[in-house]
Structure 1
């Protein structure tokens, strides 16, 4: 038997160890989707060392740390690993129950993090003890149905252990003495965190029958808040002619076509997050977080004006986040025939990479076609959740590659040995090959995938794993 017959899409492979690696990536058709990572929310009043502790839990410097209180203002998620188990750590801003202004928004973000987490870690400065703020936080946490751990921070040595006992008064169980700065007690704390997590995370999109999350995004003054008000039938969001009225994400439950959705109105993205400053910077971060927390995003574009760089940047942000996408062209009551023809040309020229996105022409002012949003959202989410059986995928790919082989690279033509859909949300495919696949060929595969299996309204990701040809064993040819 030749080596050529041992490699290919017919399901044969010369090394059983290689098939074992395929099995690690591929999931059988009847297997359950990958279990999401549990989430730990780290909360507490300002300057108790939350971000320092987050860095200690992660084992790397990720969160910004500074002596000035209130540096962290948004909830920021990081991936963590301990004893072979992966989980997500969410760093939050300082929580003050009676905060005003910007700090009130920070507190709201911290509270939201607590409600969406699988476990909560309350950090207290052991040298200061339990303040009125901690007592107020403890009252909220005791009423919640989440496991709560209490970390007494800044206990750098045994002399500080005596300060820890007073924290029993918070009624949250045994306080754990730690030093986020020096690492004292961090291993025991991580063990306790893993023990507190439920077997499966609570927040699974769509699994509990709860409302599906929709992020309403776009540049300033395209009518996001007006559309949300039209959908809810009330003045849910502040609307003003001045661009940038919305700063914080606004959640609303909206019933569309007999189904309840959770819409999040976000701040308009005016600049790149890295170049924005002040309130605009934090608003941009919150908008980015809202996109990542959503399942599908409606990008609102002013149909009466030419497509702008900001419009394209917002669409790119949604695609890079891997969320389902619906593009809604607002202010359609202002679009005449000339503008409609011009818009079609702009779409063909500027949005060629997202032709798969659902499109709806609406008017937040008159209510035109807003009822069409629900069907397009469902179509996009169905595509986002679609899984192609491995056998069907490889059968289709075998025929496609036979008719359209990959281009030669470096004097050799790469072969696609095997393919599997590694995950959904968004659909992600892994191709095992003998060589690198050109970007143009990967785009060709994506286009053919969409033609055959749909994926309307959802991004599709294709990953290539190059398998170098091994030397012949024992002189076998």
Structure 2
């Protein structure tokens, strides 16, 4: 007898050639509150490069042009066995206007809420008027500040780094973020400076559900996050592609805490994107993979596009719970509503199970309806059907509608088990292959019987192999 071990609800099933053990999913580890280190400075001094060096992987988007980072973005770091959070920020400029003013405001928030601050200055260029303005603000702060002289690639530049004493923030720490020179000593100093516990308004809570906001550029993801949080968590501007990095925010809604991730809008396939857009696309894909629930924003005032379909495909392939939000509903007239109904029937026919909510992130219209839709989707994503209940249902369905014959033979469906949750995954044990159309029929009947609104359902078939008797 062969033996397969499948995750499920702890029930042994014996049938023919199989013994199947269902094992319950383990709960997620609790996320601990960690101190926060903010990395600030004027544009293009190497802040994101330093963040990547600190966390030990290429997460922050880096490109050799100023202003690539715009939001404050949080990553977890570990040095010498101690964990802390690193917050990357956009370039800080005292007299910024428009989009850059919003970027500077995010850096300002990071400086006010962090437990320690790294001020990064380009040692080759020296202290500029902007550096002096930032230093003036930080000297008045009660938060510990470490002055970092970046781009000190060799000993010849160290003399120029010493000139940064003039900023009045103590001894400059000479490093090269791109080459790693001096970063170990800097991190030792960071650990000595960071408190063991964060401020009361720390960024990390305990076990919030992870929600990714995705969609094409300028569809209103950042506006929705700001409306939900009641705060300007993400930079919003009418320039498409304002968000580059995924932005994490803890938001309390409906009596529970959620972790929202505002992602970059996807313009092209990852293989066709270049520079910062390429890495932003990778971050967005990673944010979908790391999420439990995805809220896909579509522009209700515009036709559903190939970009929308591509993002939707990424979510479905990742097996995440899904809510579709039609944003900018305040711009939709009666003619557009009629056209939109046809587009939904044509382009979203394969995700009829996903709840749809019509909202306006700008005005706040109906955004409160997102919470029950998200809760329903996550409940479905976590749902487990007992083996006995599943097989009683299956027996009735197969008796009423047998599978189609294949090769002159009628395959028998012997029994089924739920192999996993997140998403719900079912395995059918049969004597022959089941056509794709019949598997879709069983999925549809599964949904009719047990729900699963907002969650993909996966149905696979395991065919019993004939044993040769010795």
Q: TM-score, normalised by structure 2?
A: 0.64
* 1:137 is aligned to 2:187: yes
Task: Say yes or no: does 1:350 pair with 2:347.
Answer: yes
- Quote the residue 2:25 is aligned against: 33
Distance 2:271 2:77 in 1: 24
Confirm whether residue 112 of structure 1 aligns to residue 45 of structure 2: no
Q: Distance in 1 between matches of 2:26 and 2:406?
A: 35
- Per-residue Cα deviation, 1:36-86 (whole angstroms, up to 9, x for no partner): 799xxxxxxxxxxxxxxxxxxxxxxxxxxxxxxx99x989xxxxxxxxxxx
Q: Is the 8 A contact 2:69 2:245 kept in 1?
A: no
Q: How big is the shift at 1:34? A: 4.5
> What do residues 158-193 of structure 1 show as CA deviations (whole Å, max 9, x unaligned)?
xxxxxxxxxxxxxxxxxxxxxxxxxxxxxxxxxxxx
The correspondence for 1:286, drawn from 279, 283, 286, is: 283
Q: Is residue 249 of structure 2 the alignment partner of residue 252 of structure 1?
A: yes
Q: Which residue of 1 aligns with 2:57?
A: 92
In the superposition, relative to structure 1, how do residues 271 and 118 fare at CA in structure 2: closer, same or farther (>3 Å)? farther
CA contact (8 A) 1:331 1:363 kept: yes
Structure 1 residue 418, shift from structure 2 partner: 2.1
SS of corresponding position for 2:383: coil
**Residues 1:390 and 2:390 are matched in the alignment:** no
Q: Which residue number in structure 2 is paired with residue 443 of structure 1?
A: 440
Which residue does the alignment assign to 2:219? 222
In structure 1, stretches of 5+ residues that fail to align are 1-10, 39-69, 76-89, 121-128, 146-207
> Residue 228 of structure 2 aligns with which residue?
231
Q: Which moved more, 1:451-460 or 1:395-404?
A: 395-404
Q: Is the 8 A contact 2:439 2:459 kept in 1?
A: yes
* Alignment pair present for 1:277 and 2:301: no
RMSD of Structure 2 on Structure 1 (CA): 3.9
| Residue aligned with 1:306, SS | coil
Residue of structure 1 aligned with 2:15, choices 13, 16, 34: 13
| Distance in structure 1 (CA, Å) of the matches to 2:69 and 2:186 | 15
Counterparts in 2 of 1:60-209, with a 5 A limit? 92-93=57-58, 111-112=75-76, 114=78, 131-138=181-188, 209=206
Q: In the superposition, relative to structure 1, how do residues 37 and 461 fare at CA in structure 2: closer, same or farther (>3 Å)?
A: farther
Shift of the 258–468 alpha-carbon distance from structure 1 to 2, 3 Å rule, reads same
Number of residues of Structure 1 aligned to a counterpart in Structure 2: 339
1:321 aligned onto 2:318:
yes
Change (3 A) 1:411 1:114: farther
Give distance in 2, aligned partners of 1:454 and 1:282.
37
* 3-state secondary structure, aligned to 1:236: coil
SS in 2 for 1:112: strand
1:126 corresponds in structure 2 to none
Deviation of the 1:91 alpha carbon: 7.2
**Are 1:452 and 2:455 counterparts?**
no
Tell me the secondary structure at the aligned position of residue 368 of structure 2.
Answer: helix
SS in 1 for 2:25: coil
SS in 1 for 2:250: strand
C-alpha displacement of 1:347: 0.5
CA change 1:461–1:138 in 2 (3 A) is farther
SS at match of 2:226: helix
Question: Does 1:303 find its partner at 2:300?
Answer: yes
How far does residue 234 in structure 1 lie from its aligned partner after superposition?
Answer: 2.3
* Aligned position for 2:332: 335
- The separation in 2 between residues aligned to 1:325 and 1:140, in whole angstroms, is 40
After superposition, give the CA deviation of every residue in 1:343-368 in whole Å (9 maximum; x if it has no partner): 11110111111000011000011100
TM-aligned CA deviation for residue 132 of structure 1? 2.3
Alpha carbons of structure 1 residues 138 and 467: separation in structure 2 relative to 1, 3 Å: farther
- Compute the TM-score of the two structures, normalised by the length of structure 1: 0.63
* Structure 2: distance between partners of 1:358 and 1:421: 23
Tell me how far 1:274 sits from its aligned partner: 1.5
**1:240-266 Cα distance to aligned partner (Å, 9 max, x none):** 212111101111122222222111111
Residue 6 of structure 1: aligned partner: none
**Shift in Å, 1:286:** 0.5
How far the C-alpha of 1:238 sits from its partner, in A, is 1.5
Counterpart Cα distance in 2 of 1:404 and 1:469:
25
Equivalent position of 1:240 in the other structure: 237
Please give the alpha-carbon distance, in whole angstroms, between the structure 1 residues aligned to 2:357 and 2:69: 36
Cα distance change on mapping 1:118 and 1:219 into 2, 3 Å: farther
> Gaps (5+ residues) in structure 2?
1-12, 31-47, 85-178, 197-204
CA distance in 2, matches of 1:211, 1:466: 40
Cα displacement (A) at 1:331: 0.5
